[in-house]
Chains A and B, each alone.
Chain A
Amino acid sequence: MSDAQFDAIVIGSGITGGWAAKELTEKGLRVLMLDRSPDVKHGEDYHGEHVSSWKLPFYGKEQRQLNDQEYFMSRHSGVLSAANRHLFNNDRDNPYQYDTTKPFHWIRGGGVGGRSLLWYRQCYRFSPADFNANREDGHGSAWPISYEDIAPWYDYVEDFIGVSGQAEGLAQLPDGKFLPPMQFYGIEKTVKKRIENKLPGVNMTIGRTAVLTENHRGRAACHYCGPCERGCSSGSYFSTQSSTLPAAHATGKLTLRADSLVERLEYDRDTKRISAVHVIDSKTGERLMFSAKLVFLCASTIASTQILFNSSSDDFPNGMANSSGVMGKYLMDHTTGIVATAVFLDNLDNYYYGNRPNGFYIPRFRNNLDQDGDAEFIRGYGFQGNSTRPHWGDLANQKGFGKAYKDALSQPGNYWAIGLAGFGECLPNANNRVTVDKAKLDRFGIPQVRVAMEWRENELKAREDMALQAQKIFRAAGAVFTVTNGELNNPGDGIHEMGTARMGDNPRESVLNKWNQSHDIANLFVTDGSCMVSSSCVNPSLTYMALTARACDYAVTQLNKGLI
């Protein structure tokens, strides 16, 4: 392939890489998309889709020995199974370093499309207050953009991917362009009414999710089979394969090269541009080099940071585009985990039809307008909830044999259970960071990343508050029984890692400008989670997509003006 073949190189094919490829090709650029992993063809390669339970190894019980040896991080996703193992990273083959007493779980995809095939698909906008938070309380650095800057891009992205949800008019959770909302369970309607009556300021809405409730842009409405994470050949949830990749291919300007691991970027001192992308074919070991006018780095937060550190040169001894020295620092994730589970004896004559791939959401209700007087933490959290009518799996752990046991297990249990998972904002902290370890090389000879992150006081205090508030919510909701779980998930388990190449107006304090463009290198854009300045408490993927589309628009404008 000759150098003149491409106008832009997009590194990574996940949620942001797919968006970059779509936007840049639609604006007329010839794009090469690189991904380290094997190709995953839409539909054809969703090997586990709709596979019956009795065909799965051990009928779907975890393949523990295999996971212990090879998928010891991927298993923490909660959705790894024999039906989608080929979509996950092999953790033995692709190692990284961390302090085992303070583990960080880096959960990665293992195919083209990355985690866009595996995500939980929740889509929430950051609020105006989220973009002001750092400026106001002094943690981290100020966002270089406001909600108004990104709002049109949220509209644009939502319209394309299809987000179902209910508009609520809440300042802390701006509404978007929604397809019709998914339905509540009957018990959720009961609970919602009670909560909203008794607890002013606490709202409950159906999850806003990138799953289609009606046909949309050539993709079919959800058929409610359940396990989205196996892939969806009807394209009913947003993934690279279902949405952005077909759009990019339709332009005739996209070249996708799978099995292409980016080893490093090369900087040209004379032009002050990235002049080459060095690639190792992960199947053959062959070394290749590609060039283009623009480089979009969308490899996911930690992998993009790794590539930049491994691209050090005389001009950038501390990592490419890292004249500020902040790269790798301020790693964030969300605190996650089930906070409380409660039992309800209402709506017992209700059952359900179909598997809803979505839960409900209780948006942030703490420290919303001002700091709450009784809150020992700043910022906030939201609850994602789900309802269960118990099945045999929930009822099996009791004594008894024979017909009575069989009959009891064959029918739904005589209660509803609701679980609340807390998603807490994580403050940017310079000591939570990604570095590379030149003494630890991977199978390609590339220095591995080392991740050091721990929850700090504010995250821990917020977590304590979640347990108290969840009990309060369940009391108001009429639960007959509540159990709380004090365990906090490990950093990384939120799979929302972000922040290691943050944006900012000041080049001495940030890696990227307000357009996701490197302060140091004009033709380098980084639009995955690494650009994030603060984490909010809402799921970040929608924001990454909006920032990517916005950055592409800017980059092509600059390119056309001859400024890049």
Chain B
Amino acid sequence: MNRRQFMQLSALVLAGGAVSGPSLAVDQQQLFVLGRSFIEQPVDLFSSAQRKLLQAAVETIIPRTDTPGALDASVDRFIELCVAQFMTEPERTVFIAGLDELVNAVDQQQSDLITLLTELEEQHSDAAWYQLGNRVGNGFDSSAPFICQLKELTVVGFFMSEVGATQVLRHNPMPGQFDGETVLASDQPSWARNTPGDLS
């Protein structure tokens, strides 16, 4: 994006903002135009204890293996931004309460994190989020319990990130042709998506 385009969009965005657009959208649009990653913006919602636990949790869900893991992709930062800016107030309340319960449980050394997360999944196994046919897309399930919120944002924050899309999935923004019958080799990763909701 060249400077002229940037100035044009800034003018457009600021004009919209002056009318009454939520300031959030303006900030996001500017980031988008500047060409920086979404996660390269300040956020200060969580305490250091909450952050520490979140970091451990996302790495438990998607660990570094022979490919990068959730922390390599700064998934914790993506989630903090989403909890601060994407979630509705009721969703945020659910998330923060869930996070605090985990912080306390780990503090009291009740059990290790993977056991705690597994227990949470069992407790909420009837949640609609797990039902057949549900998928992680552009929307968000407002009824999702904390554990499902956490998994969804971890997965999106990982596979849509630069690290996840280019180093774990295959990323090809300019294929140049379409072939609907290529041979699928074993262990071949999926293509990265343009948006979480893309069907293919």
Residues of A within 8 A of B (CB): 38, 44-45, 47-48, 50-66, 69-70, 81-83, 85-86, 90, 93, 182-186, 188-189, 222-227, 341, 347-356, 386-389, 391-394, 396-399, 401-403, 405-407, 409-412, 419, 483
Contact = CB atoms under 8 A, between A and B. Distances in A.
A450 to B, nearest CB: 25
B194 to A, nearest CB: 5
Contact of B175 (A44, A224, A393): A224
A61 B197 CA distance: 8
A483 B131 CA distance: 13
Given A225-B174, A350-B181, A411-B189, A45 B32 contact: no
Given A223-B174, A393-B197, A411-B190, 19 more contacts: A53-B192, A56-B195, A57-B29, A58-B81, A62-B140, A64-B140, A93-B19, A183-B178, A185-B181, A189-B181, A225-B175, A348-B184, A353-B178, A392-B159, A397-B131, A401-B118, A405-B62, A411-B188, A411-B189
B173 A397 contact: no
Contact of A403 (B32, B65, B182, B192): B65
27 contacts: A38-B12, A45-B8, A57-B31, A58-B85, A61-B196, A62-B138, A64-B139, A66-B24, A82-B28, A85-B29, A183-B179, A185-B180, A224-B177, A225-B173, A226-B194, A351-B182, A354-B175, A391-B191, A391-B200, A392-B155, A392-B190, A393-B196, A396-B151, A396-B152, A405-B62, A407-B65, A411-B189
Given A52-B162, A353-B178, A60 B200 contact: no
B193 interface: yes
Contacts of B194: 53, 60, 225-227, 355
Which of A182, A386, A410 has the most chain B CB within a 10 Å cutoff? A410
A145 B196 CA distance: 46
Contact of A353 (B117, B169, B175): B175
A108 B137 CA distance: 24
Give the top 6 A-B pairs by smallest Cβ distance, nearest first: A60-B195, A185-B180, A354-B175, A59-B160, A354-B178, A351-B184
A410 B186 CA distance: 12
A409 B135 CA distance: 12
B161 to A, nearest CB: 5
B22 A401 contact: no
A354 B179 contact: yes
Given A62-B138, A227-B195, A356-B178, A401 B82 contact: no
Contact of A56 (B38, B135, B178): B38
Contacts of B29: 57, 82, 85
A56 B35 CA distance: 9
B162 to A, nearest CB: 5
Contacts of B8: 44-45
Given A38-B12, A44-B5, A353-B177, A387 B200 contact: yes
Nearest to B169: A410
B175 A54 contact: no
Interface of B: 1, 4-5, 8-9, 12, 16, 19, 21-22, 24-25, 28-29, 31-33, 35-39, 60-63, 65, 67, 69, 78, 81-82, 85-86, 88, 114, 117-118, 121, 125, 129-131, 133-140, 151-152, 155-157, 159-162, 165, 168-169, 173-184, 187-200
Nearest to B29: A82
Given A86-B12, A224-B175, A356-B178, A52 B165 contact: yes
Nearest to B25: A66
A55 B35 contact: yes
A86 B138 CA distance: 19
Nearest to B125: A399
A48 B35 CA distance: 10
Contact of A57 (B4, B38, B137, B183): B38
Nearest to A48: B32
Contact of A53 (B21, B117, B130, B195): B195
A532 B196 CA distance: 37
Contact of A59 (B60, B157, B200): B157
Contacts of B151: 396
A419 B133 CA distance: 12
B133 A352 contact: no
Contacts of A222: 178
B21 A70 contact: yes
A106 to B, nearest CB: 20
B26 to A, nearest CB: 10
B199 A386 contact: yes
Nearest to B70: A406
B178 to A, nearest CB: 4
Given A44-B5, A54-B39, A61-B86, A350 B196 contact: no
B180 A397 contact: no
A127 B143 CA distance: 47
Contacts of A83: 32
Given A82-B28, A389-B200, A391-B191, A54 B37 contact: yes
Contacts of A50: 173-174
Given A52-B165, A185-B181, A59 B190 contact: no
Contacts of A56: 32, 38, 195
Contacts of B63: 402-403, 406
A289 B195 CA distance: 44
A424 B67 CA distance: 48
Contact of B195 (A47, A81, A386): A81
Contacts of B200: 352, 355, 386-389, 391
B78 to A, nearest CB: 7
Contact of B22 (A61, A65, A182): A65
A330 to B, nearest CB: 35
B25 A183 contact: no
A203 to B, nearest CB: 19
Nearest to A359: B199
Given A45-B8, A355-B200, A391-B190, A57 B22 contact: no
B178 A355 contact: yes
A376 to B, nearest CB: 29
Contacts of A82: 28-29, 32
B179 to A, nearest CB: 4
B139 A62 contact: yes
